[in-house]
């Protein structure tokens, strides 16, 4: 008789096992991956937020040719409905004959020319053509760099490949790492400016009120560039003049390394955190690295007050925290626990680097249950076994329909003290409805 | 250029059609992919996925699994899941990855069958064909593997319906319309395979009085059922008359179609049903042509009917056809802005990717 129950571990059990003994049930390579709305962001990263296709179109005025079997381009019908993406995707269908003969590669330069001419006929000269290829070409070992160069010669525009290789998502260079490298490779060597800094990592801007902007301005930075705020291709190219890069998402690290090697632009990495004291420590370390004092006492105070306002209004809130949101579920859960709230469940995929959060979390709330969205028995997940006043993350909302929901998965990125403030206010607003 | 699309996003692929047939049957559905295909199938082509749980899984293939052909690892994963998920069968659904590495589905079925005591369905879809090709394969495999031979005929009068998955129909409510129409003809029980049918319904599929094929994707399975179990079948779209009246709204149908040149684009059997109705209403004065981007049976095509492949095929057909009325999905409209005749929206979820459950 099969026990219809979702497998989970308590925080204490996971901490006891430690980072070297993560249960097999929580390792994606050892079992089938369950498909539910809670795993959509994992299986199809472009479905919500930025996957390779949307990310590949981050450069202003760019268009994309998706060269793939029809199935790979199918979800683009919904992406193309997002503002700013209509008429920017084109497709070259691969057939089974293409697989055998690789004849599709010979057609690509001409296809690029046709879509550029098509755009020009509508009065739009693209700035860049991205060629998106998928798992099939990963297996065929296609040299798309060479094909892109041929296309470039034909149309007189930059043409870059981007690789939507789902097969390599847990490899050395996953697709979302590669796409960032592809984009930043376009930056030419140019004279450096001591007053220019890039924020790398996201494909949408940080929230306007983020203290990073004022901190950087206060130390004399005049141009803070993010790919998503560049209004033209020319402005995007100016990202190559930066004095240093701030890497805000680990998937941008490889691109920053490339820029360090190629353009001699150093980088500093910052992590998105929701624990106010840890944010402060991180800024102190950042300041030491660049030789300035980095602090934002007003923003810090606002964050503390936002936490306090929520705590005063609803001191007994119980949260469930998912991974389909702008944050690390273990770090955010730890922050909520440290602020005095309860966390009954976390839906995440524990990795060794998460134990820096899981260990203290287990001390504060050893009975917090940790589920893995992808684990097959999540088919039997039963929400009645846990209390949830508020869910954070779209996956958490899926499991606890009746709770108050803060999806926290918007394109615009929360960061730093301002991110904490915004989150606390969003929770307060949602539970006060 | 052949294969180049400037206006339309790719249509629902074969793997989505296969999954749709099996979604509600209580099996373990395994998409042999790295995850992206599963996300696309469930997130975009399977409207039931957001409201009804089903045991759909990605094989979670990684590059080395594909390069090394690690079928044993996949079988271990299947064995493990079968121990923890209560299901009536396992279905293996192909994608471009197994197609490229030349996966031997028969061998995979045998290997899995040695470890798992469940019927195994293997559907060799490759993501490079359109949805109805996968749907057709899934129906056939379903009937071949699961139908029981010795079931006794039911006392009640039952009819089976093949080809009524959400991707085949212009409106979700057409499932109910088909059911109601067939009930009005005296059937007590209408079994929509791929919609509300259970695994038990499929096991008893040999006991129905007849099968009704409402989309070309159901034909092969219907033929198999006739040949193997003697179940007769008919090809029609029950309720096409009602659908047509609802599509044209308050217009007088006779007046609307009389003497006009009409083009219909959808799956062939639905389009043929609408054609018959238009002819009937116009007292034979309307000239009606049918076209489709999906499977078209030659013996059900009339002179002037056309199987479309490229975007240009549609643009040329509309430009040169001189039509007064077009019944097609709105997505196609932007390809022919110069068309000045009447356009009646005939939604195709398989083309547009837009699904409105309220319709």
What is the mean predicted confidence (pLDDT) over B220-227? 98
Tell me whether residues A42 and B33 touch, CB distance under 8 A: no
pLDDT at A49 over 80: no
Distances (CA, A) of B252 to B256, B340, B341: 6, 20, 17
Tell me whether residues A166 and B55 touch, CB distance under 8 A: no
* Domains of chain B with bracketed CATH: 14-145 (3.40.50.1980), 158-235 (3.40.50.1980), 240-352 (3.40.50.1980)
Q: Which two tokens stand for residue A310?
A: 């929520």
Q: Which of B259, B317, B316, B251 is nearest to B289 (CA)?
A: B317
Taking CB atoms and an 8 Å cutoff, what residues of chain B touch A36? 49, 53
Letter string b/e over residues A40-74, b meaning 16 or more CB atoms within 10 A of that residue's CB:
bbbbbbbbbbbbbbbbbbbbbbbbbbbbbbbbbbb
What is the mean predicted confidence (pLDDT) over A14-36? 92
What is the mean predicted confidence (pLDDT) over A85-114? 91
Question: What is the reported pLDDT for A47?
Answer: 65
Greatest pairwise CA separation for chain A in angstroms: 70
Q: Which residue has the higher pLDDT, B152 or B252?
A: B252
Option in A32, A72, A167 nearest B57 (CB): A32
Q: Structure pTM?
A: 0.94
Question: What is the reported pLDDT for A358?
Answer: 98
Residue B345 CB coordination number (10 Å): 13
What is the mean predicted confidence (pLDDT) over B202-221? 96
pLDDT at B163 over 70: yes
Q: Which of B96, B87, B152 is nearest to B121 (CA)?
A: B87
What is the mean predicted confidence (pLDDT) over B8-13? 95
Tell me whether residues A69 and B33 touch, CB distance under 8 A: no
Minimum CA–CA partner of A6 in chain B? B84
Q: Which of residues 133-162 of A touch B (CB under 8 A)?
A: 134-136, 138-140
Tell me whether residues A93 and B100 touch, CB distance under 8 A: no
Question: What is the reported pLDDT for A40?
Answer: 82
Average pLDDT of chain B to the nearest whole number:
95
Gap between the Cα atoms of A175 and A171, Å rounded: 9
Q: Which of residues 373-392 of A touch B (CB under 8 A)?
A: 374, 376-377, 379
pLDDT in tens, A325-356: 999 999 999 999 999 999 999 999 999 999 99
Model confidence at B155, pLDDT cuts 50, 70, 90, reads low
The rounded percent of chain B whose pLDDT value lies above 70 is: 98
pLDDT in tens, A294-326: 989 999 999 999 999 999 999 999 999 999 999
Gap between the Cα atoms of B103 and B73, Å rounded: 14
Question: What is the reported pLDDT for B312?
Answer: 97
Option in B10, B30, B78 nearest A74 (CB): B10
Tell me whether residues A44 and B66 touch, CB distance under 8 A: no
Q: Are A255 and A249 in contact (CB under 8 A)?
A: no
Q: How far is B49 from chain A (nearest CA, A)?
A: 7
Question: What is the reported pLDDT for A29?
Answer: 81
Q: Which of residues 69-128 of A touch B (CB under 8 A)?
A: 69-78, 80, 89-96, 99, 104, 107, 110-111, 114-115, 118
Taking CB atoms and an 8 Å cutoff, what residues of chain A touch B57? 32-35, 376
Model confidence at B335, pLDDT cuts 50, 70, 90, reads very high
What is the mean predicted confidence (pLDDT) over A57-78? 92
* Domains of chain A with bracketed CATH: 9-31+304-432 (3.40.50), 47-170 (3.40.50.1980), 196-270 (3.40.50.1980)
Question: What is the reported pLDDT for A77?
Answer: 77
pLDDT at B233 over 70: yes
Predicted ipTM > 0.90: yes
Question: What is the reported pLDDT for B114?
Answer: 95
Taking CB atoms and an 8 Å cutoff, what residues of chain A touch B127? 69-72
User: Could you write out the DSSP letters of every residue in A217-251?
Assistant: HHTT--EEE-GGG--SHHHHHGGGG-SEEEE-SGG
pLDDT at B51 over 90: no
Question: What is the reported pLDDT for A140?
Answer: 87
What is the mean predicted confidence (pLDDT) over B130-140? 98
What is the mean predicted confidence (pLDDT) over A110-134? 96
Interface test with A, best of B1, B29, B54, B60 (most A CBs within 10 A): B60
Question: What is the reported pLDDT for B151?
Answer: 65
Calculate the dihedral angle through the C-alpha atoms of A151, A154, A158, A159, rounding to the nearest 10 degrees: -10
Option in B34, B66, B85 nearest A379 (CB): B85
What is the mean predicted confidence (pLDDT) over A127-141? 92
Minimum CA–CA partner of A113 in chain B? B1
Interface test with B, best of A30, A35, A67 (most B CBs within 10 A): A35
Question: What is the reported pLDDT for B153?
Answer: 64
Taking CB atoms and an 8 Å cutoff, what residues of chain B touch A165? 63
Minimum CA–CA partner of A118 in chain B? B6
Option in B38, B67, B84 nearest A377 (CB): B84
pLDDT at B52 over 90: no
Tell me whether residues B97 and A136 touch, CB distance under 8 A: yes
Question: What is the reported pLDDT for A75?
Answer: 84
The rounded percent of chain A whose pLDDT value lies above 70 is: 99
What is the mean predicted confidence (pLDDT) over B61-66? 84
Question: What is the reported pLDDT for A30?
Answer: 87
The rounded percent of chain A whose pLDDT value lies above 90 is: 83
Model confidence at B194, pLDDT cuts 50, 70, 90, reads very high
Q: Which of A288, A293, A266, A247 is nearest to A194 (CA)?
A: A266
What value does the CA radius of gyration of chain A take, rounded to a whole number of Å?
23
Model confidence at B258, pLDDT cuts 50, 70, 90, reads very high
Taking CB atoms and an 8 Å cutoff, what residues of chain A touch B50? 37
Tell me whether residues A73 and B10 touch, CB distance under 8 A: yes
Give me the phi and psi of A216, to 5 degrees please: -70, -40
Q: How far is A227 from chain B (nearest CA, A)?
A: 26
Tell me whether residues B81 and A31 touch, CB distance under 8 A: yes
Model confidence at A46, pLDDT cuts 50, 70, 90, reads low
Taking CB atoms and an 8 Å cutoff, what residues of chain B touch A171? 62-63
Q: Are A351 and A374 in contact (CB under 8 A)?
A: no
Question: What is the reported pLDDT for B154?
Answer: 63
Question: What is the reported pLDDT for A85?
Answer: 85
What is the mean predicted confidence (pLDDT) over A159-179? 88
């Amino acid at each position: 008789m099969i026990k219809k129950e979702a497998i989970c571990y308590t925080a204490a059990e996971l901490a006891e096992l430690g980072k070297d003994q993560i249960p097999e049930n929580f390792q994606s390579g050892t079992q089938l991956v369950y498909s539910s709305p809670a795993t959509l962001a994992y299986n199809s990263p472009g479905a919500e937020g930025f996957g390779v296709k949307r990310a590949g179109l981050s450069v202003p005025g760019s268009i994309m040719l998706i060269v793939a079997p029809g199935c790979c381009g199918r979800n683009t019908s919904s992406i193309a409905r997002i503002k700013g993406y209509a008429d920017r995707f084109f497709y070259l269908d691969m057939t089974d004959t293409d697989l055998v003969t690789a004849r599709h590669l010979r057609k690509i330069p001409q296809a690029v020319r046709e879509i550029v001419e098509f755009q020009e006929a509508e009065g739009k000269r693209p700035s860049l053509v991205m060629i998106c290829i998928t798992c099939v070409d990963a297996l065929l070992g296609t040299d798309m760099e060479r094909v892109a160069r041929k296309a470039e010669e034909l149309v007189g525009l930059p043409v870059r490949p981007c690789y939507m290789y789902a097969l390599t998502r847990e490899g050395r260079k996953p697709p979302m790492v590669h796409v960032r490298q592809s984009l930043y490779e376009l930056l030419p060597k140019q004279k450096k400016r001591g007053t220019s800094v890039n924020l790398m990592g996201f494909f949408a801007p940080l929230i306007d009120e983020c203290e990073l902007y004022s901190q950087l301005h206060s130390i004399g930075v005049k141009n803070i560039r993010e790919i998503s705020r560049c209004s033209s291709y020319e402005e995007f190219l100016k990202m190559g003049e930066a004095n240093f890069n701030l890497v805000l998402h680990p998937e941008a690290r490889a691109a920053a390394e490339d820029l360090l090697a190629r353009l001699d632009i150093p980088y500093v990495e910052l992590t998105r955190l929701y624990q106010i004291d840890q944010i402060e420590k991180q800024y102190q370390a950042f300041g030491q690295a660049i030789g300035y004092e980095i602090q934002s006492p007003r923003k810090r105070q606002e964050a503390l007050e936002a936490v306090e306002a929520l705590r005063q209004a609803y001191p007994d809130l119980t949260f469930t925290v998912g991974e389909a949101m702008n944050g690390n579920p273990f770090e955010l859960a730890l922050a909520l626990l440290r602020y005095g709230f309860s966390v009954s469940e976390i839906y995440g995929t524990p990795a060794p680097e998460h134990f820096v959060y899981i260990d203290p979390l287990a001390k504060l709330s050893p009975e917090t249950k940790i589920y893995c969205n992808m684990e097959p028995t999540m088919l039997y997940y039963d929400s009645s076994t846990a209390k949830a006043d508020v869910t954070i993350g779209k996956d958490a909302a899926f499991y606890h329909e009746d709770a108050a929901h803060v999806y926290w998965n918007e394109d615009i990125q929360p960061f730093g003290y301002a991110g904490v403030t915004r989150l606390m206010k969003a929770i307060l607003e949602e539970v006060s409805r | 250029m052949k294969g180049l699309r400037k206006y339309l996003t790719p249509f629902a692929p074969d793997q989505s059609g296969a999954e749709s047939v099996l979604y509600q049957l209580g099996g373990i559905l395994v998409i042999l992919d790295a995850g992206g295909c599963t996300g696309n199938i469930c997130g975009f082509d399977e409207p039931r996925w957001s409201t009804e749980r089903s045991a759909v899984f990605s094989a979670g293939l990684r590059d080395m699994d594909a390069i090394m052909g690690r079928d044993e690892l996949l079988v271990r994963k299947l064995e493990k899941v079968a121990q923890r998920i209560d299901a009536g069968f396992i279905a293996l659904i192909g994608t471009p990855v197994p197609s490229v590495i030349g996966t031997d589905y028969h061998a995979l079925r045998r290997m899995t069958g040695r470890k798992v005591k469940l019927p195994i369905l293997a559907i060799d879809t490759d993501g490079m064909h359109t949805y109805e090709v996968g749907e057709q394969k899934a129906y056939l495999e379903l009937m071949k593997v699961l139908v029981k031979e010795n079931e006794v005929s039911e006392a009640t009068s039952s009819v089976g319906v093949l080809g009524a998955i959400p991707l085949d129909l212009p409106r979700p409510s057409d499932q109910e319309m088909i059911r109601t129409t067939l009930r009005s003809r005296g059937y007590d029980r209408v079994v929509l395979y791929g919609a509300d049918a259970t695994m038990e319904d499929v096991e008893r599929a040999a006991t129905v009085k007849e099968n009704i094929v409402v989309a070309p994707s159901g034909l092969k399975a219907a033929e198999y059922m006739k040949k193997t179990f003697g179940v007769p079948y008919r090809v029609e779209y029950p309720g096409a008359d009602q659908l047509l009246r609802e599509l044209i709204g308050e217009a007088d149908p006779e007046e609307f179609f009389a003497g006009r040149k009409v083009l219909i684009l959808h799956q062939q059997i639905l389009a043929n049903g609408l054609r018959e109705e238009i002819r009937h209403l116009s007292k034979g004065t309307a000239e009606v042509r049918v076209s489709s981007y999906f499977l078209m049976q030659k013996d059900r095509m009339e002179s002037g009917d056309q199987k479309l492949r490229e975007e240009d095929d549609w643009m040329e057909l509309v430009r040169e056809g001189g039509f007064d009325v077009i019944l097609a999905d709105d997505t196609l409209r932007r390809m022919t802005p110069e068309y000045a005749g009447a356009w009646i929206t005939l939604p195709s979820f398989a083309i547009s990717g837009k699904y409105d459950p309220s319709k």
